[in-house]
């Protein structure tokens, strides 16, 4: 079966899952499109992806940056914390991955956790790349502030380094559902932070404001720190520099210096925040 048909079948089997971005009514699969009772239509692309934005939004993520990110993720840069997340997923449930980027983590979680998964991002180049993955995941361009899903649609919401809209997360999670969020800690990409911004305010990062905001919204959340050093082949460092927004505003000479003498490993230091049983 062609990719587009596979995704249409997947969406039909899960309906009602998506909500109309114009009127909020549930969308049903009709003749290969998503249609609401008011006749608003969203079509599947040839890759089977969806677009729920009424207006396109330009982001700083270009296809070469996203491709560099995919190479690093395929090399296993995030695998230890993705495995910790996958271990928390009850099998055969419905997962939403927020701000999924080029989709490699979503595909990993869907396969390792045997989930029916949806990934969305505001970047259409990211979703275009995600649409090329073989995993049975529905990928969509959508806005964090207006999630195109019906209420109580998901058993789990995952959020890896993405901004959170906790009101919307709460709305699309079922009662007793779970929320898994990854936030960076002070040591995340330490070598790059120190190499590019030594002596400036950007050399240090503190996740306290993000953590506080999360715990204010979800006081019962638990917090688990995951830390490791990922070994880097010399040729991988350019990809690492390209994939992270941390480097984009760095002075050119500092970047060149780092690229000329890359570190042998990169420090990964994150918190996994878990809400196990959402009270609605």
Q: Which is nearer to Zn ion, 39 or 209 (CB)?
A: 39
Minimum CB separation from Zn ion for residue 14, in Å? Answer: 18
For Zn ion, the binding residues in 28-47 under the rule CB under 5 A are 36, 38, 40
Q: How many residues bind Zn ion (CB under 5 A)?
A: 7
How far is residue 185 CA from its own chain's centroid?
18
H helix or E strand, kind and range, residue 253? helix 252-260
- For residue 22, the minimal CB distance to Zn ion (Å) is 4
Q: How far is the CB of 37 from Zn ion (least distance, A)?
A: 7
User: Binding pattern to Zn ion, positions 2-21, x when CB under 5 A?
Assistant: ------------------x-
- CB of 261: closest distance to Zn ion in angstroms? 56
Residue 204 to residue 188: CA distance in whole angstroms: 10
Nearer to Zn ion, 33 or 93 (CB): 33
Least distance to Zn ion from the beta carbon of 98, Å?
23
Residue closer to Zn ion, measured from CB, 22 or 53: 22
Which residue reads 């720190």 in tokens? 225
Q: Which is nearer to Zn ion, 36 or 258 (CB)?
A: 36
Per CB under 5 A, the segment of 22-30, 96-104, 112-120, 162-170 that binds Zn ion is 22-30
Known binding residue 166? Answer is no
100 marked as binding residue: no
Nearer to Zn ion among residue 23 and residue 204 (C-beta): 23
Which of these, 280, 272, 230, 215, lies nearest to 87 by C-alpha position? 272
DSSP, collapsed to helix, strand or coil, labels residue 271 as strand
| Residue 23 assigned to a binding site | yes
| Helices and strands per DSSP (H, E), number in the chain | 10, 11
Cβ atoms 118, 7 nearer than 8 A = no
Residue of this chain nearest to Zn ion (CB atom): 20
When the beta carbons of 88 and 171 are compared against Zn ion, the nearer one is 171
User: Which among 146, 189, 175 is positioned nearest to 54, based on CA atoms?
Assistant: 146
| 152 touches 174 (CB < 8 A) | yes
Please report the DSSP string for 35-96 in residue order: E-TT--EEE--TTS-EE--SS----S--HHHHHHHHHHHHTTTTHHHHHHHHTTPPSS-EEE
* Alpha-carbon span 48 to 63, nearest angstrom: 19
Cβ closer to Zn ion: 36 or 100? 36
Q: What's the length of the chain?
A: 280
Does 146 help bind Zn ion (rule: CB under 5 A)? no
Q: What is the largest CA-CA distance in the chain?
A: 60
Please report how close the Cβ of residue 270 comes to Zn ion at its closest, in angstroms.
Answer: 38
Q: Does 5 carry a binding-site annotation?
A: no
Binding residues for Zn(2+): 20, 23, 36, 40
Site residues, Zn ion (CB under 5 A): 20, 22-23, 25, 36, 38, 40
């Amino acid at each position: 079966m062609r990719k587009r048909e596979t995704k249409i079948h997947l969406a039909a089997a899960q309906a009602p899952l998506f909500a109309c971005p114009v009127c909020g009514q549930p969308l049903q699969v009709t003749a290969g499109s998503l249609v609401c009772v008011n006749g608003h239509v969203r079509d599947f692309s040839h890759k089977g992806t969806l677009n729920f934005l009424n207006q396109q939004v330009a982001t700083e993520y270009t296809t070469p940056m996203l491709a560099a990110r995919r190479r690093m993720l395929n090399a296993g840069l995030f695998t230890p914390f993705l495995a910790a997340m996958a271990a928390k997923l009850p099998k055969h449930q419905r997962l939403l991955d927020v701000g999924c980027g080029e989709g490699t983590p979503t595909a990993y979680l869907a396969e390792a956790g045997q989930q029916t998964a949806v990934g969305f991002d505001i970047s259409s180049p990211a979703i275009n790349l995600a649409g090329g993955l073989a995993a049975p995941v529905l990928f969509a361009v959508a806005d964090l502030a207006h999630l195109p899903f019906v209420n109580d649609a998901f058993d789990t919401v995952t959020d890896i380094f993405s901004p959170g809209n906790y009101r919307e997360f709460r709305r699309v999670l079922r009662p007793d559902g779970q929320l898994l969020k990854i936030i960076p800690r002070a040591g995340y990409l330490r070598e790059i932070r120190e190499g590019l911004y030594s002596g400036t305010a950007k050399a240090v990062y503190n996740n306290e404001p993000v953590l506080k905001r999360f715990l204010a919204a979800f006081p019962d959340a638990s917090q688990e720190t995951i830390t490791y050093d990922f070994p880097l082949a010399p040729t991988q460092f350019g990809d690492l520099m390209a994939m992270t927004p941390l480097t984009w505003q760095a002075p050119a000479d500092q970047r060149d210096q780092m690229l000329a003498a890359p570190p042998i490993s990169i420090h990964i230091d994150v918190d996994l925040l878990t809400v196990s049983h959402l009270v609605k």
